[in-house]
Amino acid sequence: MNKVKQTNNNYDFFLNFSLFWVVFGFLALILTLLDFFYSWVLILYLVSAGIFFAFRIIPEQKKIKLNFKISPAYIAISLAFFAFVFIFSFFTTATIFTGRDQGSLSIAAIELAKNHQLTFSDPASVEFFKIYGEGKALNFPGFHYTEDGQLTTQFPLGYISWLAAFYSFFGINGLIIANAAALFLFLSAFYLLGKKLLKKNYALILPLFTLSSFSFIWFFKFTLSENLALALLWIYILNLVEISEKPDRKKFLALILSASLLAFTRIEGFAFLVTGGLILFFNPTSRQFLQKNIRFLNILILSLFFIFLFYLQKDWAFFKEILKATFNSFFEINSNGKIITKNLFFPGFRMIQIYTLYGLISFWILGLFGVIAAFFKKNWQLLIPFFLASPSLIYLVNSSISSDHPWMLRRFVFSILPLSIFYSAVFLKYLLAKKIDTNRRSNFWLFLPVALIILIIFINLKPFLRFAFFSENEDLLQQTQELAKRFSSNDLILVDRLSSGDGWSLLAGPLNSVFNLNAVYFFNPNDLDKLDLDQFENVYILVGQKEISNYLNTSLGEKLTVADKYTLKTTRLTETSNKNSTSIIDYPQKSLIKVSGYILKLTR
């Protein structure tokens, strides 16, 4: 009896703790929607919530004694989670270089914190707007031009608001802390879900697999929306499981807020809202609770619906991009202009190799056995995570992402991978329980699951140890800062795609947003004839040594002189194999690269 009560106390504490952070994220989102993103509002919330939380857990007694009787085991594992996240934060470089999603998300958050609103512009963006007009801002990856020439993000706002909140408190390091907070919330929710559904020490299988898995620690290093979605989805699932057994208003509030913030963070969240609603409806206990609290439910849903309508108008660029991406994932237009359906049904030999290389294939197989076993035993509560996250399983046959690895694994990290880890633990629990229930003298039913656990951890540790302490673009920001000192705020800096040696790590992002220069990604030399350059004191082009001929051999060549040279040294992953589906692939190589380039000055 004490153990059950103690487990509930663990959940009660986490319910309050996670609700504190979910409301914080929701507040940041609302401030973004209102174009009133000021850190003092967030500070006021933190202080008020902190005072409320203190009075909630400390009774009015002369001797201070916490109301929450958290179990020593939960305290110990929470400290282990915190230590894990804290240590690996030191092996992370903030991903603010544009060209891929992580850089664009970081820049959008930085601009939101700086300008207190979602849209922004500078003299360089205004000039390029005159050329390209409303729509996708090709010179500012990840952004669109509004009708009046302002830049706005093409990504969901939930994660951008979350990042901006931490950036407003901690600067560049806030981007790392934002991911650390999300990872800690996920680890806690995932463990408590295991304690709830797997019972006893079987729940320890979850942190063993999770903390040794390459994917979680690798994508923790990137400012990608999957990081926040990972925390929100598993908080959502944990609360849904608790509500299915013993519902109350606080649990339901935490559930609806985490589920809604998830929808504003990842497009899959809207599908999870539907599956979660169906689970609530078909569960007799939760359905009865909703019927008794229909007014409370209606107020919450109507409030969130109006927020969604406002969100839809504010982030319309994202919805246009997602509709386009969805169409391109399932259909293509052939040479005759006809729309044909793509082949969606088999991941191919290359994908299977990638799953095997990074230790995912064992979770896919054991997880499938775990789901089948739960179905046969008709343990419907144990199947709640599967039912809720089932829409994301489409990524197993069509991940809708380029096959660059480990980049493409981001599609699985917030939903499918933890889901398969959970059901792998379910399957192993059934095997271990079989040893307990059987009267056979053979230790086979003990040896098999233990051997599988050791084997999986061994497979996990190979990519984990290879990349856990490696960070891309290490020290590149400091070198970019030194490079920025060579220009003034009245100059126009045109940044070639390969000026840093990598088209996915454009220098334009931090030069513009962090160091406040008129820097812009530049890809079309003909644009110079269309720009009004009189408002800029000097015009420079940053170009790598190998690409300089692309400019000198054009009509611009006579107007360009070498003003200076620069050298950058940093770390990168370089893929070692081609993308042929039949080729044998290997891990990308960790490389220390040196890039030499020129600062070309335009003579007017």
Q: Is 421 part of a structural domain of the chain?
A: yes
- pLDDT in the model for residue 374: 95
Of the CA atoms within 13 Å of residue 95, those in its CB half-sphere come to: 27
Q: Which amino acid is at 510?
A: P
DSSP-derived secondary structure letter, 168: H
Same domain membership, residue 604 and residue 525: yes
Rounded average pLDDT over 170-188: 97
Contact 568, 473 (CB under 8 A): no
Q: Is 576 part of a structural domain of the chain?
A: yes
Only one residue has tokens 């103690």, namely 6
CA pair distance 535, 528, nearest whole angstrom: 14
Residues 6+ apart with CB under 8 A from 262: 158, 229, 232, 233, 236, 269, 272
Average pLDDT of the residues of the chain? 89
Same domain membership, residue 423 and residue 504: no
Same domain membership, residue 545 and residue 523: yes
Q: How confident is the model at residue 192 (pLDDT cuts 50, 70, 90)?
A: very high
Q: How many CB atoms lie within 10 A of CB 600?
A: 23
- Write the secondary structure of 169-214 as one string of H (helix), E (strand) and C (coil): HHCCHHHHHHHHHHHHHHHHHHHHHHHHHCCHHHHHHHHHHHHCCH
Q: Is 415 part of a structural domain of the chain?
A: yes
Same domain membership, residue 450 and residue 486: no
Same domain membership, residue 600 and residue 490: yes
Q: Is 91 part of a structural domain of the chain?
A: no
Same domain membership, residue 487 and residue 586: yes
How many structural domains compose the chain? 2
Residue 4 pLDDT exceeds 50: no
Same domain membership, residue 480 and residue 450: no
- pLDDT in the model for residue 447: 77
User: 365-391 pLDDT, tens per residue?
Assistant: 999 999 999 999 999 999 999 999 999
Q: Of 114 and 451, which is predicted with more confidence? A: 114
User: 310-366 pLDDT, tens per residue?
Assistant: 898 888 888 888 777 776 666 666 666 666 665 555 556 778 888 999 999 999 999
- At which of 467, 483, 507 does a domain end? 467
Domain that residue 579 falls in: 472-604
Q: Is 49 part of a structural domain of the chain?
A: no
Contact 251, 243 (CB under 8 A): yes
Contact 124, 531 (CB under 8 A): no
Q: Is 564 part of a structural domain of the chain?
A: yes
CA pair distance 109, 107, nearest whole angstrom: 5
**Structure-derived torsion over alpha carbons of residues 132, 138, 143, 148, reported in degrees to the nearest 10:** -10
Same domain membership, residue 601 and residue 487: yes
User: 32-54 pLDDT, tens per residue?
Assistant: 999 999 999 999 999 998 888 77
Residue 438 pLDDT exceeds 60: no
Contact 12, 5 (CB under 8 A): no
Rounded average pLDDT over 111-120: 97
State pTM to two decimals.
Answer: 0.93
Q: By C-alpha distance, which of 210, 227, 191 is closest to 421? A: 210
Same domain membership, residue 604 and residue 478: yes
- At which of 467, 488, 505 does a domain end? 467
Same domain membership, residue 445 and residue 365: yes
Same domain membership, residue 390 and residue 516: no
Q: By C-alpha distance, which of 463, 429, 445, 271 is closest to 361? A: 463
CA pair distance 462, 250, nearest whole angstrom: 42
Q: Is 440 part of a structural domain of the chain?
A: yes
For the chain, give the number of residues: 604
- At which of 467, 499, 520 does a domain end? 467
Contact 401, 407 (CB under 8 A): yes
Same domain membership, residue 502 and residue 450: no
Q: What are residue 521's DSSP bridge partners?
A: 495
- pLDDT in the model for residue 461: 94
Q: Is 199 part of a structural domain of the chain?
A: no
Q: What are residue 580's DSSP bridge partners?
A: none
